Amino acid sequence: MCDASVNVALGVNGSASNNSSDVIGEMCQAMLLQWVGFGPDAMSARQALELATRGQREGAEP
């Protein structure tokens, strides 16, 4: 999706679905899923951080 210029963002929902509200954990989970599906070079820690920060900012409505 990122290669297709689709805005992708990582985030946490809230205590109703996830008690930890841990965005670092979500970044780690995203990296691990990409590594399992596409190999160890599929997503770096920097890319995960960008999805959790820059990706959310760019996806926000004005």
Q: Read off the pLDDT of residues 47-60 as tens digits, 9 standing for 90 and up.
A: 888 888 876 665 55
42 DSSP 8-state letter: S
Confidence of residue 35 (pLDDT cuts 50, 70, 90): very high
What pLDDT, on a 0 to 100 scale, did the predictor assign at position 36?
Answer: 94
Burial class from Cβ neighbours inside 10 Å (0-12, 13-18, 19+) for residue 12 reads: middle
Q: Residues 23-45: what's their mean pLDDT?
A: 89
Q: Read off the pLDDT of residues 3-27 as tens digits, 9 standing for 90 and up.
A: 777 777 777 776 666 667 778 888 8
Q: How far is CA 53 from CA 10, 17, 30, 39, 43, in A?
A: 8, 21, 14, 24, 15
What pLDDT, on a 0 to 100 scale, did the predictor assign at position 62?
Answer: 46
